Structure 1
Amino acid sequence: MLKKIDTIEQFEELRKTEGKFYLLKHSLTCPISLEAYKEYEKFAGNNEEIPTYYLAVQDSRPLSTEIAERFEIKHESPQAILFSEGKPLWNASHWKITNRSLAEASSEK
């Protein structure tokens, strides 16, 4: 199940409490982002053991910027990031966000 986060505080709580989780940076106005969201949603439904979160870039600009700057991951949207123990292990953007790529990344890391 996808859960939306909006604030830096919510993200910090995830980093403390979740061992491994995905975060999707999603644009509400981009058709490519919509397709990535659908793939992410499919992955989440098939892999409930891995927590899946997302942020809407338009609603959560400070959080999106904070993640890009803190982890030195160039901001893109859509962008999926796999975190483990509070650190990013893998990320992909645009058409590279697929149910398959998400599953492969989570099983390898």
Structure 2
Amino acid sequence: MEWKEITTIEEWDAILEKSAEKGQVILKHSTTCPVSFNALDEYDNYLADKPDQEIDYTLVKVRESRPVSNKIAEDLDVKHESPQIIYIKNKKKYWTTSHWSVTKAHMAAVID
């Protein structure tokens, strides 16, 4: 399974709406941060294994898509961090973690 990158607020709005029907996992990724590259590897490793097929997986590059990143933080009432993973259900934050806590094992424990 692979993630889909979003770059517009309209794409984000659609994901938030869709979370009422299907879980959504967002990884906020900084393309200039080594910790974020580690988190992206963990995200990819989780998706390469046996991820929950009933969930959509998304990536937002925080520097390149700053308005989208800011809107996510605002809509979900979460402090912006990068890297940051957010699991959304029913248009609300269900779980979030950041930095070195973004691991395949942590994702599996919460999402699976």
When normalised by structure 1's length, the TM-score is 0.91
1:20 counterpart residue number: 23
State the alpha-carbon separation in 2 of the partners of residues 69 and 85 from structure 1.
16
Equivalent positions of 1:1-109 (< 5 A) are 1-18=2-19, 19-46=22-49, 47=51, 49=53, 50-107=55-112
More divergent stretch after superposition (47-56 vs 96-105): 47-56
| Partner deviation per Cα, 1:18-64 (whole Å, 9 max, x = no partner) | 41010000000000000000001111222151321010011110011
DSSP 3-state at the match of 1:76: coil
Spell out structure 1 runs of 4+ moving beyond 6 A: none
DSSP 3-state at the match of 1:64: helix
State the alpha-carbon separation in 2 of the partners of residues 11 and 36 from structure 1.
21
Q: Which runs of 5+ in 1 are unaligned?
A: none
Q: CA deviation at 1:14?
A: 1.4
**Residue type of the partner of 1:44?**
L
Share of identical aligned residues, percent?
A: 36
More divergent stretch after superposition (86-95 vs 39-48): 39-48
Q: Which runs of 5+ in 2 are unaligned?
A: none
State the alpha-carbon separation in 2 of the partners of residues 92 and 80 from structure 1.
6
When normalised by structure 2's length, the TM-score is 0.89
Q: CA RMSD in A?
A: 1.2
**Residue type of the partner of 1:40?**
Y
Q: CA deviation at 1:16?
A: 2.1
